[in-house]
Structure 1
Amino acid sequence: MNPFERFSKITKDVFLFIKENPGTSRVEIAKRLNLSEATISRHVKTLIDANLILESGTGDSRIGRKPVNLVVNPSAFQILGIHVAYEKIKFDAFNLSGERTFTCRIQISQNIAFDEMFELILKTIKRKKLRRILGIGFAIPAPLDYSEKRLIYSRFYGWRNILLPSFVMIDSEKVPIFWENDANLSAIGFHRKTNCNNIVSVYLDKGVGVGILKDGKIHRGSNGQAGEIGQVLVRKKPKDNFEELEKLIIEESHRDFLSKHTRETLGFTLAIVLRIIDPDILAFNGEIPRVNKKMMRLILKEIKMRLKDKEYPVVIYNGKGIDPIFLGIQQMVFMNMLEAC
């Protein structure tokens, strides 16, 4: 059940403000939302009655009564994030305050069928007895058709034209599911980490994808495939047949080192993307940026050589703290739940 579906827009705006500004007061909310304190008090009461908001101590005030601090009730619901990565599935659950409440990793075969993978995920959720799930967000290493809610094609897993489920039943509750490309979610996560609104986010693992954030919003292009640089056709040698860049990266990543030609091609491609988008930052996520520092230095060198006198600040997720992909999942699920009603 969506707890927000019975709320007015103002009630949802008040909840969102409290979530983004924990410890705020009714007075501050009224000022920021340009509404009367009486109006805000009514909507806060609605949220408290729904067990979504808690009163938490008092703030400072030189005159009159001290304002009561308001915070989101962290235990009201959980958001479950699932990242279908390369030969593994990552589970992280978070309370409404964004604190991790559960984490799990399971290995899977590259040959696993999509339906088999999805059933394995459902069994894991039930086995771990995850409860009060507000929504489930999936990060997928493949381009998606958002209008038809289909996975277009995953080179790594061989999945093609898969209709994506929009909900699942857990403990007799209908839990909504939201799907997004992993590189796009990583871009949203880096936005939350850095507050930058224009980001080129590269997810580099056994494959490559780019998430593009423009003015704080994901740029998907006309058919949802913006940033799919892995589909660019390249040659290993001048007389070779053209192959997808991602195919080369998948083949070479098993050796833990990309060839000079692949690094040059990747650097050249990313330099073009950077020149076109002109972002605030260039961000990296994935196994290669996390563990192979030498490789990253070489890739960044290739990019810099092609940018001439232009430089972009580089942010690399080093594995500490919450993965930007899961920050992106939290944002995706929460905003979809608010906007769905």
Structure 2
Amino acid sequence: MKKNMIPGSFQLMKKINTGLVLDTIRLYAPISRVEISKMLNLTPATVTNITAELLKRNIIIESDFGKSTGGRKPVLLKINPDSYYVIAVHIGSTKLRVSVMNMESEIICSLTEKLYPNMEFEKVKDIMIDFINQLIKEYLPEKNKILGIGVAAHGLVDFNNGTITFAPNFGWKNINLREILEREFDVPAFVDRDVRAMAMAESWYGEGREVEDFICIKVGYGIGAAFIKDKQQLRGASDGLGEFGHMKVEINGTKCICGNYGCLENYASERAIVRYAMENGYRDELDIEKIHEEVNKGNQKIIDAVKKAGFYLGLGISNLINIFNPRLIVIGGDLIDINDLFFDELLLSAKNYSLQELFQNVNIKRTQTGKDAITKGAALLVLDNLFDSIQKEVIS
């Protein structure tokens, strides 16, 4: 073993390479093994062994022959989109979304239900199971084609145990969702935080594709962060790393749904904008779509509310920049997806409150995967496990 090589890093590299090969085929198919090798700077033997295992599992198929450069025409590869499917579940702060995705990461169909504060888990569970059964019945009659169920959930999640430790918007504690889903559907299930799912989607398909390390921030009804190091999630001692929304920004601030006071998400989230708008004299109902609509109309009460929330998020981000000195911060979620004013304001605030030497070396970008980031990330929880099993069989 090489000096300074961390334990398990060979296995990790095989897993990453398998994901890269599959994603390259997905993006550039039909493509030859030689082209994959050159694009990813992998040895021909590594690519051959990985693609052999993917072919064996029917995840990819051989397509037409490519152009010859003097010898035998190369065999081209492409994804077999209907070889397997993944059920992706997003339990957000305000909505439940259940989707079926194919091996090309396309969302085949989705069902959505609005959720409410303090909604009982049993009610949400019944809706989720009903949605999954509906989708299986209509789109997945061959049960053996379901690779598994991936769940991205709001709140604190213990990934290893598949447990929602604490969902503050609903008041849920210690819900072993993996056990419930595996017992109900007899397929593997994986549960992680929504922002980590978003970070995984960006790492595979978005701004994080070409980098090893970055910070991902999700902002909507609540706020969270995920930290990617060497293409892997950093999790913390109790799987709680990334509670960025509960950074304290006002010592004598308003009470948060977590029970504490002065948390960032009380000042920089969608619900903060609603509160600011009401303080400014706005009296109509306000949700994310209405916020966007009123900003476009030039409603100054809403514009001021959005700018104030953006200011606070930028303040929080400046702390991340000053502490971690990242090269890339990727931001997604409902507020980012639809509102340029909010994004522009947070950039200005982050610049003003960061050490300038550090700010000059960070790129702050929107997610490329947009509104489907968390759903795609939930599916990747399942695919990532698939690569765990494949890499054990592939010899580089």
Normalising by the smaller structure, the TM-score range is 0.7 to 0.9
- Secondary structure of 1:175 counterpart: coil
CA contact (8 A) 1:185 1:324 kept: yes
CA contact (8 A) 1:204 1:284 kept: yes
Gaps of 5+ in 2: 1-11, 278-290, 292-301
Shift of 1:252: 2.0
User: Which of 20, 24, 36 pairs up with 1:21?
Assistant: 24
1:252-267 matches, cutoff 5 A: 252-254=272-274, 255=277, 258=305, 264-267=311-314
Q: Distance in 2 between matches of 1:200 and 1:239?
A: 27
- Secondary structure of 1:224 counterpart: coil
**Residue of structure 2 equivalent to 1:124:** 131
**Residue of structure 1 equivalent to 2:263:** 244
Deviations 1:42-75 (A, max 9, x none): x83x755653332210112222321111223110
RMSD over aligned CA atoms reads 3.5
Shift of 1:124: 0.9
1:37-76 matches, cutoff 5 A: 40=49, 44=52, 48=55, 50-76=57-83
User: Which of 232, 236, 240 pairs up with 2:247?
Assistant: 232
**Residue of structure 2 equivalent to 1:217:** 232
Q: Distance in 2 between matches of 1:67 and 1:54?
A: 14
Deviations 1:222-261 (A, max 9, x none): 2211110222344375899934333454642435565877
* TM-score, normalising length: structure 1: 0.81
Q: How has the CA–CA distance of structure 1 residues 335 and 150 changed in structure 2, closer, same or farther, with 3 Å as cutoff?
A: same
1:55-204 matches, cutoff 5 A: 55-128=62-135, 129=137, 130-131=139-140, 132-166=145-179, 168=181, 174-192=186-204, 193-194=206-207, 195=209, 196-204=211-219
Residue type at the aligned position of 2:173: R
**Residue of structure 1 equivalent to 2:294:** none
CA contact (8 A) 2:212 2:229 kept: yes
- 1:315 partnered with 2:365: yes
* 323-332 or 184-193, larger mean C-alpha shift: 323-332
* 264-273 or 58-67, larger mean C-alpha shift: 264-273
CA contact (8 A) 2:24 2:36 kept: no
The answer to which structure has the higher strand fraction is 1
**Residue of structure 1 equivalent to 2:223:** 208
CA contact (8 A) 2:94 2:221 kept: no
Shift of 1:113: 1.6
The answer to which structure has the higher helix fraction is 2
CA contact (8 A) 1:233 1:245 kept: yes
Shift of 1:270: 1.8
Deviations 1:13-46 (A, max 9, x none): 9975652332344566799455399x859x83x7
CA contact (8 A) 1:183 1:203 kept: yes
CA contact (8 A) 2:150 2:380 kept: no
**Residue of structure 2 equivalent to 1:6:** none
Aligned residues: 327
CA contact (8 A) 1:26 1:40 kept: no
Shift of 1:148: 3.8
Q: Distance in 2 between matches of 1:47 and 1:287?
A: 36
Residue type at the aligned position of 1:20: D
Residue type at the aligned position of 1:207: G
- Secondary structure of 1:289 counterpart: helix
**Residue of structure 1 equivalent to 2:341:** 294
CA contact (8 A) 2:161 2:178 kept: no
User: Which of 316, 320, 324 pairs up with 1:277?
Assistant: 324
Q: Distance in 1 between matches of 2:250 and 2:344?
A: 23
* TM-score, normalising length: structure 2: 0.71
Gaps of 5+ in 1: 1-8
Query: Percent identity among equivalent residues?
Result: 23
Residue type at the aligned position of 2:71: G
**Residue of structure 1 equivalent to 2:378:** 329
Q: Distance in 2 between matches of 1:163 and 1:298?
A: 39
